[in-house]
A and B are shown apart, each in its own frame.
Chain A
Amino acid sequence: MEPIIAASIVASSVIGLMALGFTLQFITLKVPNLAHTTICFSSAYMPLSFWLFGINPYLALPLSFLIGSLLSWFLYKFLAFLRTRGTGPVGQMMSSLAFGLIIYGIMNIYADYLSYVLKAWARTFTLANADIILFGEPGIVFLSPTLLFSLTTFFHLLLTRTKFGIAIRAIVQDYSLAATLGVNTDRALGIAWFIVGGIGGLAGAVWPFWFSVDPWTGPRMLSDIFAACVVGGLFSVYGSILGGIIVGGMEILLLWGIAINVGVWITSYRPIIPVIIAAITLLIFPKGIMGSIEMLREKRRK
């Protein structure tokens, strides 16, 4: 397989998974979680630590899930606490950013610790050399899309076939009404944030198997996730997954196409691509793919 195709598969899958969590967190609390990508990539240091201690880095994935889950759950609890005290969406959003900064600081301290104590190159790292080979290709090329489809299916079933899913959908529709009807909103949202945080943690942990990671990767990736959500539709979980696949794929393939014609220097402008995609989407069809589909449906009904 062409490395560029493999890279786009990994990027699409990971961004799709992260966008799923970002959108679900947004539609449940009506607050964008600006720490989401930082939380996701904080777990990327687990596979590195395993590898440095001579253990297969893939074995760190459950731990990465747990780190993402716990951090996300803790943040939810904090934001919910602020909400009960009357803090508005902007205050909550800024608090999530503050939480992200704390994690960023801790990640840097941990990276410094690995660098100074274990003499490892932990500030910017990749685990491409530690990956397993399956059918002549790096394992991550198969693992990342598998994770995307299996976790999306799991999430879909969870939302449509369980009481918990009904509760979540009710909360998304009307938080107060759901609470009045007896839904334990705090517990349901806590579990939802725990699960999507874990999924994000997994996504962040598989990223270094193909791309390089540094403590700033998470905050930097916020643009990609935002673009994915705008393209897919700001209020649709499935739309954001689709948006993630499109943005991740386009970012790699489009840049590759331009680089062939213009020169390799253009690759340093890669992080600008998602912002351009988001801006164009906002201008042309501001409701994103799912929003546009919904509008078409409405027109047909009328």
Chain B
Amino acid sequence: MVLETLLPLAIETLTFFAIYLICSSSLNLQQGYTGISNLGLFFSISSGAYVIAALPTRLAVWLYGIDMDFVYQNALVVSLLNERFAQDAFTPTFLLIITFFAAMAVGSILGYVFTYLSLRLTETYLAVFFLCVAEAIKIFGENFIPLAGGPNGILLPNFFIWLGSYSWIVQSTFFIIIPFIIFAVYEKIAGSPFGRLLKAIRENELALQCLGRNTISVKLKVMTFTSAFLAIAGVLVSLRMRSVVAGTFDRVDYSFWPWLMVMLGGAGNNLGCLLGTFVCIIIRRIVYWLKFYLLFLPVDIMWLEYILLGLAFMLVMIYKPEGILPEKVHQIRPLNRSDQKG
């Protein structure tokens, strides 16, 4: 009985954690390793969500020859698609693969364009520019109904329904594995010569430019591929919620929380980022459950989350500005023993 209750809760928390791990580790590569302050993390995440809202379901409607408008007859179309997907493994899987590639393409293009636009700004103003751009994209998504249903959002069909009773467990595993693959990629990059180049840019960009390195091109590359991975996070969030509501991709949930995770764990350290994400997710879950015990208060308890989040960040900055696991200097092995002796 306990297992039946706790297992779904644990898996649900783990999927939540895994998806946030993409956000925080992407930010860690941008900010922690390269020194690009991106406060508008949610523009890449929401771009992925918009892709899954606009592309695969329309394609499915077209493939199955359903003569209905996906946005304006959303609930009906979703139920019809669920019926079709239950008997057809190929189409939903194919659509899902297309969606991931399309989301990555859109995320990377947006990341490239906005980074290119903002290259002339200083570090902190760059962060504000990204924030404003992300807000603009959010407002566009909230109002442009054909994209993601506008303010009411849009429902998505279950792309895993063909798995029957295994649907939930396969889906959860999928949500957990993909973020960890992305995390492994980031960890690999961090330990590579390219990772050291990123840290060098963060420490002294001018010196690298004097040495002939094109730091702007490197920054563009970082923003492009991290934005692609963040778009995957947007797809996963939407798949998990089985809906896309543009307003939910806001600066608090998908920018500020990842910042807190990175700062708490330790910027410039992927393991620290992992730990910071885990701690923050546990805190969020606790606050979420606390809400149900404080319903008697004359105010909405969800606002306490904002206050606690702000206070937590300020306390981290006062007492642990370098994070729980501060960045470690990578020791590079000497080429041979004689070098070591020397």
Report chain B residues within 8 Å CB of A234.
122, 125
Given contacts A95-B313, A117-B298, A268-B143, contact A90 B123 (CB under 8 A): yes
Q: How far is the CB of B107 from chain A (nearest CB, A)?
A: 19
Complex contacts, A238 vs chain B, CB 8 Å: none
B35: shortest Cβ distance to chain A, in Å? Answer: 8
Contact with A along B298-327 (1 / 0, CB 8 A): 111001111101110110011001000000
User: Residue of A at shortest CB range from B251?
Assistant: A219
C-beta contact mask, A143-174 vs B, less than 8 Å → 1, else 0?
00000000000000000000000000000000
Q: Which of A97, A112, A220 contacts B303 (CB 8 A)?
A: A112
Instruction: Enumerate B9-42 residues with CB–CB distance to A below 8 Å.
Output: 31, 37, 39
Separation of A30 and B123 alpha carbons in the complex (Å): 10
User: Are B317 and A87 touching (Cβ within 8 A)?
Assistant: yes
Contact A272 B307, CB 8 Å, known A82-B317, A116-B299: no
Q: Is A139 an interface residue (CB 8 A)?
A: no
Within 8 A of B (CB), among A264-287: 268-269, 271-272, 274-276, 278-279, 282-283, 286
B110 at the interface (CB under 8 A from A): no
Query: Is A91 in the interface zone, CB < 8 Å from B?
Result: yes
Question: With A93-B124, A113-B298, A279-B117 in contact, is A222–B131 under 8 Å at CB?
Answer: yes
Pick from A2-10, A101-109, A205-213 the stretch touching chain B: A101-109
Interface of A: prevailing SS: helix
B309/A98 in contact, CB under 8 A = yes
Q: Would you call A226 an interface residue if the criterion is a C-beta within 8 Å of the partner chain's C-beta atoms?
A: yes
| Cβ contacts A54-84/B at 8 Å (1 or 0 each) | 0000000000000000000000001001100
Is B135 among interface residues, defined by CB-CB distance under 8 A?
yes
Mask: chain B, 127-148; 1 = CB below 8 Å from A; 0 = not: 1110111011001100100000
Chain A residue total in the interface (Cβ 8 A): 50
Is the CB–CB distance between B131 and A93 below 8 Å? no
Task: Return chain A residues, CB-CB under 8 Å to B305.
Answer: 105
A112 touching B298 in the complex, CB below 8 Å, given contacts A32-B125, A99-B310, A234-B125? yes
Residues of A contacting B318 in the complex (Cβ-Cβ under 8 angstroms): 81-82, 85
The distance from the CB of B289 to the nearest CB of chain A, in whole angstroms, is: 19
A20 within 8 A of B: no
Q: Which residues of B contact A97 (CB under 8 A)?
A: 39, 256, 313
Contact string, A30-67, partner B, CB cutoff 8 A, digits 1/0? 11101000000000000000000000000000000000
In the complex, chain A residues whose CB is within 8 Å of the CB of B143: 268-269
Provide the bound-state CA to CA distance between A93 and B31, in Å: 13
Complexed CA–CA distance, A49 and B276 (Å): 41
Q: Is the interface of B mostly helix, strand, loop or mixed?
A: helix
Whether, in the assembled complex, A217 has its beta carbon less than 8 Å from a beta carbon of chain B, the answer is: no
- Chain A residues near B118 (CB, 8 Å)? 282
Q: Is the CB of A101 within 8 A of B307?
A: yes
Nearest chain A CB to B249 CB, angstrom units: 15
A128 interface residue (CB < 8 Å to B): no
Asked whether any CB of chain B lies closer than 8 Å to the CB of A223, the reply is: yes
Cα–Cα, bound, A34→B129 (Å) = 12
**Known pairs A101-B313, A102-B311, A234-B125 / 18 extra A-B pairs, C-beta < 8 Å:** A82-B317, A86-B321, A87-B321, A94-B263, A97-B39, A98-B314, A99-B314, A105-B305, A223-B136, A226-B132, A227-B132, A234-B122, A268-B143, A271-B139, A275-B133, A282-B121, A283-B117, A286-B120
Can you list 14 A-B pairs with a CB-CB distance of less than 8 A? A32-B127, A85-B318, A91-B263, A93-B127, A97-B256, A98-B313, A102-B306, A102-B311, A104-B306, A106-B307, A113-B299, A223-B135, A269-B143, A272-B136
**Footprint of A on B, CB under 8 Å?**
31, 37, 39, 117-118, 120-125, 127-129, 131-133, 135-136, 139-140, 143, 251-252, 256, 259, 263, 298-300, 303-307, 309-311, 313-314, 317-318, 321
- Top-5 shortest CB links A-B: A105-B306, A102-B310, A98-B313, A101-B310, A105-B307
